[in-house]
Amino acid sequence: MRQNPTETLRRVLPKVREALHVAGVEMQLTAAVSFLTILQEESVSTHAYAHSFLQVILLHLEHRDTGVSNAWLETLLSVIEVLPKETLRHEILNPLVSKAQLSQTVQSRLISCKILGKLTNKFDAHIIKREILPLVKSLCQDVEYEVRSCMCRQLENIAQGIGAELTKSVVLPELIELSRDEGSSVRLAAFETLVNLLDIFDTDDRSQTILPLVKSFCEKSFKADESILISLSFHLGKLCHGLYGIFTPDQHLRFLEFYKKLCTLGLQQENGHNDNQIPPQILEQEKKYASVRKNCAYNLPAMIVFVDPKNFHMELYSTFFCLCHDPEVPVRHTIAICFYEVSRLLNSGVYLIHKELITLLQDESLEVLDALIDRLPEILELMSTGGESSVQENKLSSVPDLIPALTAAEQRAAASLKWRTHEKLLQKYACLPHVISSDQIYYRFLQRMFTIMMTNNVLPVQKAASRTLCIFLRYNRKQEQRHEVIQKLIEQLGQGKSYWNRLRFLDTCEFIIEIFSKSFFCKYFFLPAIELTHDPVANVRMKLCCLLPKVKSTLKIPADKHLLQQLEMCVRKLLCQEKDKDVLAVVKRTVLELDRMEMSMDAFQKKFYEKDLLDQEKEREELLLLEMEQLEKEKQQNDGRPSSDKIFEKKRRDMKSLSQSLPKSIPISVPGPSSSSSSASKEIKKSKLIRSQSFNNQAFHAKYGNLEKCASKTTAGYTPSVSGLTKNSVLSLTDDSFRTRSASSAPASFSLNSSIPSTSRGTVNPTDPDNSGSKDSQPRKATLKSRKSNP
């Protein structure tokens, strides 16, 4: 049909029709699926499809095998969506009059019910009233309870097709009669349909007709089959919401008590049982009771709205506590899914459920933990701010058990075989800088991220740990700690003995480029990264080649001209000396990509404007981290003098405003600046002024220090050492101002007097043996003999 529809319809389809008369179940199922696919792909026009395929579908609707019959019915219901009214009326609706008669088989009448539910939305009201509704009434009064139940479930579709007036006069009386039916499945179908149609009925119908039916149904539910309770518990939240305005206080309390009773259904009978001695029927009953409690957990947010969140502690906290400690995993799994919604509804009362958060984090089932961590960042943010939308400095000091619970959860996930849960948990831990202090992250989580990167055997888990570690580093408030982390990354990963660790170092470099400013990467990671072009393992060199375009994107001309020259020199060496054919092929592709790249300039360019502005914001935030640390030290030295307090508070507000300008969902992706247009325009004007003064070699002292600086000073004072910083490359910190990254220097916030490899923005000659630095701090020097190592 895809290649030659005309000839297929003329020559192949007749053969298919003949074969289907005697075909087995598998061929019938395949034919039904194929016919549906042809319709969905629109291989032929609607008219041609109706002419060629519709009769074949109708012919096999009543196949003796139920599965085959359902497959053909599904195809027909999809066909009804696209056929024109005239075709539907003549080919489907008219024959349906005879197919729905009592003289036909039960299977034929069941099929007629489903077709009628689909046809209602295709015709005008007068045709529905004259030709369809009489059939509907007839099937609602069928002698077989299966037919009545099936037709009852189609009344929702029919009501939506005929409008509120006809629904009230025709559908509602049928539902009332069916709700009193002798068959429990019919009564259940009537109840569920009434709940789904609550929005269509007016207040009088709800209070005078529907509410008495619902009360009667609830009162009889405990005496009926457990399946009734399962359905009732599932729809109870929607029911209470739909009838909320018409409940009397007594009725309101009665429905609330009914919900509480369902939440503990079956728990009283569990004590004293030996699993080996429980009869099968009791086990089956307990499974159904667990399903009821699971549905109650699903409806908890709706019931909180029903009682008003202000009354949660008095009315529903004990119920919430029971659901969080339920013995059945599916119940706790469901309450974990709903935990964020509950937190959001409680708002300032979110502190009431701190203990339950810890309980679910410590749950023995990883399914529960997996469900909870889906919205863990949002939950922790609500906990840290007390539910208030305004930005606060408040960290989660009020939940003392949170950090042990988080670390224990990670260790449980790591010890299991469910690495996807472990990966997800590590990704969600990236929110921690927003909710706990920098020191807590450094001492309780950061080293653990290193350990996972070094020892875990699952690549996605290692990458998740690497990314989260970079985010922890991004928001670390202490310069000394940042330096230690950078040094560990370079020495243990970039210079590691295992080629696997060196590959992870390149992954980390990619995250650094994404999360940090360009100057930060150039200062600390540029040289250690391109040093791996000499790595003895082909896989490492190949991965580095793939990363080189991103590395080049961090450079700005002319300030980084010397780094660009080193990059080009490394690429030339690879082209000339690489012996591995796979690596060489990647190098050649990379060279073409590098040649096509346009370099970013120190001055803002229109084509790179958004990226440059975002990079500048990153630099400012990195600088403010250092300023905050320095001001904290000054504040301690001055014993909190009023003037220092004001400066500190001002810097703190600046830090908050800048962190808000980046994506709040965490510094994982950087889609672009989200600050207001007015603040952005101020930044543009300010940056333009800075650049113009920088190009004239004039010092510019702004609130946050120099943003641009002449390259000549650093060039003159630069010593080509990979492992250390010279005097002129370290920007001194003063009490009055802190200089930002200039055109020739990285941000002052990352200057240090240690052995961390760094790159000043000036001329460099890395091949000078006299300035190679110490062995411990120098990036790993691999032999130039490129050979493939067996991983």
pLDDT, one tens digit per residue, over 646-678 is 555 555 555 555 444 444 434 443 333 333 434
Give the span between the Cα atoms of 8 and 43, in whole angstroms. Answer: 11
The reply to whether 330 and 238 lie within a common domain is yes
Within a domain: 104: no
Within a domain: 297: yes
Rg (CA), the chain: 35
The reply to whether 340 and 459 lie within a common domain is no
Give the span between the Cα atoms of 490 and 757, in whole angstroms. Answer: 8
Question: Which tokens go with 365?
Answer: 């089932």
The reply to whether 256 and 333 lie within a common domain is yes
Q: What is the signed CA dihedral for 535, 537, 541, 547, rounded to 10 degrees?
A: -100
Number of domains in the chain: 2
Within a domain: 209: no
Scan for tokens 């309390």, then name that residue. 253
Question: Which tokens go with 612?
Answer: 């440059």
Residues of the chain with pLDDT under 50: 389-394, 658-755, 760-791
Contact 309, 347 (CB under 8 A): yes
The reply to whether 239 and 354 lie within a common domain is yes
Q: What is the per-residue pLDDT for 193? A: 93
Give the span between the Cα atoms of 89 and 112, in whole angstroms. Answer: 14
Of 470, 497, 515, the residue that ends a domain is 515
Within a domain: 425: yes
DSSP-H helix ranges across 489-599 = 499-515, 518-524, 526-530, 538-552, 561-577, 581-596
Within a domain: 456: yes
pLDDT, one tens digit per residue, over 164-181 is 888 888 899 999 999 988
Give the span between the Cα atoms of 121 and 216, in whole angstroms. Answer: 33
Closest CA to 604 of 487, 722, 522, 684: 684
Q: What is the per-residue pLDDT for 669? A: 37
3-state helix, strand, coil in the chain (%, to 5): 70, 0, 30
The reply to whether 241 and 343 lie within a common domain is yes
The reply to whether 433 and 367 lie within a common domain is no
The reply to whether 405 and 357 lie within a common domain is no
- The residue ranges of DSSP E strands in 6-158, in sequence order, are none
Give the span between the Cα atoms of 85 and 81, in whole angstroms. Answer: 10
Within a domain: 437: yes
Q: b/e string for 238-265 if b means 16 or more Cβ within 10 A?
A: ebbbbbeeebeeeeeeebbebbbebbbb
- The residue ranges of DSSP E strands in 605-696, in sequence order, are none
748: buried, middle or exposed (CB in 10 Å: 19+, 13-18, 0-12)? buried
Specify the pTM. 0.75
Q: What is the per-residue pLDDT for 655? A: 55
Residues contacting 282, CB < 8 A, separation 6+? none
Of 350, 378, 406, the residue that ends a domain is 378
Q: Which domain holds residue 420?
A: 397-515
The reply to whether 367 and 494 lie within a common domain is no
The reply to whether 321 and 402 lie within a common domain is no
Q: b/e string for 443-473 if b means 16 or more Cβ within 10 A?
A: eebbebbbebbbebeeeebbbbbbbbbbbbb
Q: What is the per-residue pLDDT for 510? A: 95
Give the span between the Cα atoms of 227 and 230, in whole angstroms. Answer: 5
46: buried, middle or exposed (CB in 10 Å: 19+, 13-18, 0-12)? middle
The reply to whether 233 and 365 lie within a common domain is yes
Question: Which tokens go with 185?
Answer: 């499945």
Q: What is the per-residue pLDDT for 619? A: 81
Within a domain: 682: no
The reply to whether 429 and 457 lie within a common domain is yes
Closest CA to 340 of 373, 388, 292: 373
Q: What is the per-residue pLDDT for 706? A: 34
* DSSP string computed for 288-314: HHHHHHHHHHHTHHHHHHHH-GGGHHH
Of 515, 545, 569, the residue that ends a domain is 515
Contact 316, 259 (CB under 8 A): no
Q: What is the per-residue pLDDT for 662? A: 44
Within a domain: 301: yes
Closest CA to 408 of 366, 367, 378: 366
Q: What is the per-residue pLDDT for 189? A: 93
The reply to whether 374 and 431 lie within a common domain is no
